[in-house]
Amino acid sequence: MSGYLTNRYRDLTAYVPGEQPPAGMKVIKLNTNESPYPPAPKVLKAAEEAAGKLNLYPDPDQNALRRALAESLKEEAGDSGFVPKPENIFISNGSDDILNFAFGAFSDSDVPAVFPDVTYGFYTVFGDLYGTPYKEIPLKDDWTVDTKDYAAECAEGRRLVVIAEPNAPTGITLGKEGIRRLLEGCRNSVVVVDEAYVDFGAETSLGLLAEFDNLVICRTFSKSYSLAGARLGFAVAHESLIKDLELIKYSTNPYSVNRMTEAAGLAAVEEKDYYMANCAKIAATRGRVTEELRALGMEVLPSKANFVFARHPEVSGEALAQGLREKGIIVRRFSKERIRNYLRITIGTDEQMDALVKALNELLTGERR
Ligand code: PMP
């Protein structure tokens, strides 16, 4: 820290992203929930074509992509009564960017944020960045959210409620009816539902936008659409909340999505079937890996995401993560007391997961000798 850093940021502890090993390092990378499957060929072609126009600024409103997304989301909204329109969609540079804007737009020293004690680690950082007091509400013993806790908070005054659905790093869901209960108890507050992992088998809350104009659904192309490296995320909400998010984006970086990423995103939406088939494949791999890890004596939480959260009752998370690393497999671990012995393991290809199960088997039988 230099002597010039403003007082505002002196106590800020930044988010620490998962390790990104240097290109060329041969590892099985199961630590940042990327898709193991490549982008569809048309997506690569679209990005390449867009590269030819890099001398021109991109469309700051992302109109083409908003129209395509509105169309694509219609099916997911079903007969809820919510008909997505481009005005309901906000696009930016990854969903971290959207969450950043949401904290900026909807929380401050008078509007605290509330979220679970075990959830995506960036929420506390955004709270600190914006000087927003926050409360981390303990998940129940079975790692589920008790919506009554949030109703009690909102009864005290307006809050920014943030729920990852499915939750990260547990993979556990509340379900659409649970989210509805949450919204009913928090009508005075903005409720952000972070659906980063929803495509891997969870229920979306999109349809609830027909009933709740205080709901912001946050999505990303990083996981289910194999575009983590492109940085593309979006929010779906009532028009007025989208305008609030735009206010912040236009006050910081209007061109936050580059031309290649916009083109890739547009082509990806058109290739939705390819990506949804990959998600189904990942969900199937998740199912069998869960069984295999349990057979090794590990406790594995029931996940609806593209990762599993697992621990061994007798071997520390640190020892397992280190042992895996020595065998060329990187997984994610967290320092928080309640989850320090868990590993968060991204679901990769079947071959990658075979290697993981084999390595864990060797480590665990070795540990017990
Ligand atoms: N939300 C959750 C719950 C996540 O795990 C992640 C990935 N780190 C994000 C949002 C951000 O994803 P991205 O910025 O790549 O869209």
Q: How far is the CA of 92 from the centre of ligand 1 (A)?
A: 13
Structure confidence by residue, pLDDT tens digits, 77-97: 999 999 999 999 999 999 999
Token pair 């007969």 is at which residue? 79
Atom of ligand 1 lying closest to residue 17 CA:
8
Q: Bin 226: left if φ > 0, else alpha if -120 < ψ < 50, else beta.
A: left
Q: Which of 361, 202, 353, 351 is nearest to 286 (CA)?
A: 353
User: According to the model, what pLDDT value does residue 24 have?
Assistant: 87
Cβ-defined contacts of 249-255 (< 8 Å, 24+):
249/90, 249/92, 249/101, 250/60, 253/93, 254/60, 255/57, 255/58, 255/60
User: According to the model, what pLDDT value does residue 368 have?
Assistant: 58
Report whether pLDDT(101) > 50.
yes
For residues 209-227, average pLDDT = 98
Report whether pLDDT(226) > 60.
yes
Atom of ligand 1 lying closest to residue 223 CA:
15
User: According to the model, what pLDDT value does residue 224 have?
Assistant: 98
For residues 353-358, average pLDDT = 98
**Whole-model pTM?**
0.97
pLDDT band at residue 1, thresholds of 50, 70 and 90?
confident
CB–CB of 210/81 below 8 Å?
yes
Q: How far is the CA of 331 from the centre of ligand 1 (A)?
A: 16
The mean predicted confidence, pLDDT, of the chain is 97
Q: How far is the CA of 125 from the centre of ligand 1 (A)?
A: 13
Atom of ligand 1 lying closest to residue 228 CA:
15
Atom of ligand 1 lying closest to residue 233 CA:
16
User: According to the model, what pLDDT value does residue 61 have?
Assistant: 96
CB-count burial class (<10 Å; 0-12, 13-18, 19+) for 293: buried
Report whether pLDDT(129) > 50.
yes
Report whether pLDDT(369) > 60.
no
Structure confidence by residue, pLDDT tens digits, 270-306: 999 999 999 999 999 999 999 999 999 999 999 999 9
Pocket perturbation via mutation, ligand 1, pick of 95, 174, 193 by most ligand atoms within 8 A of CB = 95
Pocket perturbation via mutation, ligand 1, pick of 92, 98, 122 by most ligand atoms within 8 A of CB = 122
CA distance 173 to 305: 9
Report whether pLDDT(340) > 50.
yes
For residues 232-240, average pLDDT = 98
Tokens representing residue 213 in the block: 């104009």
Report whether pLDDT(355) > 80.
yes
Pocket perturbation via mutation, ligand 1, pick of 19, 31, 120, 344 by most ligand atoms within 8 A of CB = 120
Pocket perturbation via mutation, ligand 1, pick of 30, 119, 194, 221 by most ligand atoms within 8 A of CB = 194
Report whether pLDDT(70) > 50.
yes
For residues 299-324, average pLDDT = 97
DSSP codes joined into one string, 131-181 = T--EEEEPPPTTS---HHHHHHHHHTS--EEEEESS-TTT-----HHHHHH
Q: Which residues contact 252 (CB under 8 A, 6 or more apart)?
A: none
- Helical H runs in the chain? 41-51, 63-77, 95-106, 122-129, 147-155, 176-185, 239-250, 259-270, 272-295, 317-326, 350-368
Helix (H) or strand (E) holding 311: strand 307-311
**Which residues sit with their C-beta closer than 6 Å to ligand 1?**
94-96, 120, 164, 168, 194, 196, 220, 222, 228, 233
For residues 258-264, average pLDDT = 98
CB-count burial class (<10 Å; 0-12, 13-18, 19+) for 11: exposed
Q: How far is the CA of 196 from the centre of ligand 1 (A)?
A: 6
Q: Which residues contact 300 (CB under 8 A, 6 or more apart)?
A: 290, 293, 294, 308, 309, 310
Dihedral sign of CA atoms 348, 351, 352, 355 in order: positive
User: According to the model, what pLDDT value does residue 207 have?
Assistant: 97
CB–CB of 96/233 below 8 Å?
yes
The packing angle between helices 259-270 and 63-77, to 10°, is: 30
CA angle 131, 132, 138 (to 5 degrees): 135
Q: Which position has the higher pLDDT, 135 or 24?
A: 135
Tokens representing residue 309 in the block: 């959260």
Closest residue to atom 2 of ligand 1, CA basis: 196
For residues 28-39, average pLDDT = 98
Q: How far is the CA of 96 from the centre of ligand 1 (A)?
A: 6
DSSP structure class, residue 332: B
For residues 334-355, average pLDDT = 97
Q: How far is the CA of 368 from the centre of ligand 1 (A)?
A: 36
What residues does 331 pair with on adjacent strands? 30
For residues 104-128, average pLDDT = 98
Atom of ligand 1 lying closest to residue 120 CA:
3
User: According to the model, what pLDDT value does residue 247 have?
Assistant: 98
